[in-house]
Amino acid sequence: MSTTSPPDNPLPPPLLNFPTSPVPKKNPLRDQRHIKTAAALIIGDEILNGKTLDRNSNYFARFCFEHGIQLKRIEVIADDEGEIYSASPSIEASRRMVQTYDFVVTSGGIGPTHDDITYAALAKSFNQGLAYHEETLARMQESSKHRAWILQQSEEQRTARKRMALFPNAAEVFFVASDIWVPVVRLQGRLCIFPGIPSLFQKMLDNLKPFLLLPPEEERPFRLQVFTVLPESSIAPFLTDLQKRVQPEGIRIGSYPVLQKGVYVSLIGANRDRVHKLGAEVEKEVQGRVVSEAEAEAKRQLGCQ
């Protein structure tokens, strides 16, 4: 493929306005009414060699927590067909995750280059063939028709680009955003294939919510955080006793130090009133104060610098 940059287009690209897919009425989970557990398979040599920071697993973790889903596992594997459908000598990663968890996402490996083999590898993993998805091809063409470099591509280059619409032939295809031609491809009713570009991954995941059987609001956990400047060793005995006391209630206690700043005490439970009551107790015992999620995140980011 040519290494020269595409020529500048003096005109802004037209705004895309594709129709989104209807939400299926069939429950893909069969034996339960909503998603309970999740896992992520992050695909990319650039993640493993440190070239790219993996933001998608963190975003997915936040998504799961906010919607009451227990994220159980995250695996990072190379852009290698054998790794994707055979992540260990005897266990296929994608099959294992689909068999174990209700909602599985993959991120990365769906571009036009030689190492973007996620669709092909997953098709092989689930004993499916590959077929071009005509609607995706049409949207791909529509989204790029204003780009002059498209007309300059060779047949080989056009074929490479079309690979981005070559899906497992038994997959579901969901167009979740009117301004994005790339769909979410779902296998086995549980495994959703996403691009690795963080901005696309995040927007498409958020827009996929109507297609997911998310837990109802009343079953989602509530997190309250208390910040204290006391050292972690000073509050450890109290937190140990507190965890033993509230564990039968399904409440989890955690402590997360920020270097040379203090400690965040996290309380997570389904009963919001009970968590607030315990938060007041923690505030008093550790000489701290309740902080918002935004403030806690900002302080943690400063602590990482």
Question: Given a cut of 70, is residue 3 above it in pLDDT?
Answer: no
- The predicted pLDDT at position 100 comes to 94
Question: Given a cut of 70, is residue 72 above it in pLDDT?
Answer: yes
Token look-up 């896992």 returns 39
Distance from C-alpha of 192 to C-alpha of 40, rounded to nearest angstrom: 10
DSSP state of 260: T
**Share of residues in the chain with pLDDT > 90 (%):** 63
Question: Given a cut of 80, is residue 14 above it in pLDDT?
Answer: no
Distance from C-alpha of 49 to C-alpha of 121, rounded to nearest angstrom: 21
Residues sharing a CB contact under 8 Å with residue 188, sequence separation 6 or more, in sequence order: 98, 126
For each of the domains in the chain, give its residue range(s) and CATH number, in order of start.
Answer: 37-211 (3.40.980.10), 221-303 (3.30.70.2860)
Question: Given a cut of 70, is residue 270 above it in pLDDT?
Answer: yes
Q: Say what the pTM is.
A: 0.83
Question: Given a cut of 50, is residue 7 above it in pLDDT?
Answer: no
Digit-coded pLDDT (tens) for 109-125: 898 876 678 898 899 88
Instruction: Compute how many other C-beta atoms are within 10 angstroms of the C-beta atom of residue 167.
Output: 25
Length of the chain: 305
- The predicted pLDDT at position 160 comes to 86
Digit-coded pLDDT (tens) for 184-231: 999 999 999 999 999 999 999 999 999 999 999 888 999 999 999 999
Burial of 141 (0-12, 13-18, 19+ CB in 10 A): middle
Digit-coded pLDDT (tens) for 251-269: 999 999 987 789 999 999 9
Q: Report the number of secondary-structure helices (H) and strands (E) in the chain.
A: 12, 12
Instruction: With cut-offs at 50, 70 and 90, classify the pLDDT of residue 87.
Output: very low
